Structure 1
Amino acid sequence: MDMTVVSGLVAAAFAGALGGRLSTATTMRRLRQQNIVLADQVRHDGLTGVLNRVGLEQAYAATNAHGRFLMVVDLDAFKSVNDDHGHPAGDAVLTTLGTRLAELASRHHGWAGRLGGDEFVLILPGSTAAVAQQVAMHATAPIITTSRSGSVHVRASAGIAYAAATTSWSSAVADADIALYHAKQRGDVTLFVAGMTYPQRPSPRRRARDARTTN
């Protein structure tokens, strides 16, 4: 066989093999990027962009070696926003709160997330009670926006709990939630203390939640 022909066949085979490897590498990179995007979507709330419950639990687990403060933030009378101004206005309020909490979390090297509905969580590792309470004051500042039907003014409440390294996620959320109920009754940010229980007279928020649970 002519050596020129042989050389051409070898070159073509080499080019084909190289092209195949490049194509495979490109495909693998694309698949890895898609997996990263999908993993990010699994961990984040689609509306607000903050972590969802799965992402929050993972972030909390990442701080298991140290104590941290966990804060539950809940909007007051949020249902009336949807009823009076429509769901787009309600979504705008949720997005505004999510952005605010994400900025606070970034500033304090923590994480922000949405448990569901109008309930959000902040995880503050390596913080102090005083700092956590200051953060809560910023987190619960009134949200003022506008809709087609007029001005929207929403307040928020926050309950804070210290979670030691050995405290489970569910226990930390429960403690902060108890503090939140007291915060709604007192009209002020509340820090959970040992022995604190849910108020004997449930707040409207708790009655609404209980009704949803039993229906």
Structure 2
Amino acid sequence: MGIPERRKREKERRRQQIIVAARRCFKKRGYKATSIEKIADEAGLSPGTIYLYFQNKEDLYASVLTKVFESLYMRFVHIKNQEIPKIEDRLNSMIEVILEVYSEEPKFILKFFHLLLQDNNFRISPVTHKILKALLKKVKEVSTALFKIDNKNYVNKYSDPIVLSDIFWSTFIGVAVVEAGKMNLLNSEINIKPKLENIFELYKRGMDQS
């Protein structure tokens, strides 16, 4: 391994170290009560070092949210690699993963989708923005693959995997964004898992009838 490659790996390792520390701080204290100084203390670094990797607190928060959503993507990849033959079973696995990730990190998941709709107002660096967009592209690709059915001659537009994937994510994101807005307005925690379960059940019924 050459020196440039070693430096690149060390830089990424340090970046991930900061994200892990920030995630703990945001989860424990919330966004407003967390400062760069507190994150630096948690990571065992100086505030100046944090700014070498992240533009500001918003940039770091966006990176934490992206990291959380990346875990959902990796679980979708796992479902795809299982090569489950029936689309109904794949859909059930996808819904199960979303509910699991939401249960683990409810605030972060809601805030992630809220970020997507206001990223122009969120002061994030080009690096973070690039990572975010690349992740969204990968999620779209794997979810579209999971909605593919054996028959390539789709009976109607509702059996097109791209359409099914778009409707699936629009449903989830719509609920998440509305509830994230309520959470900000009321300054309180909101559990949307029951609502998600009901909406996904309606989605499955719609697929059965298409």
Name whichever structure is richer in strand by fraction. 1
Q: TM-score, length-normalised on structure 1?
A: 0.29
Higher helix share: 2
Larger Rg over CA atoms? 1
> Structure 2 length normalisation: TM-score?
0.30
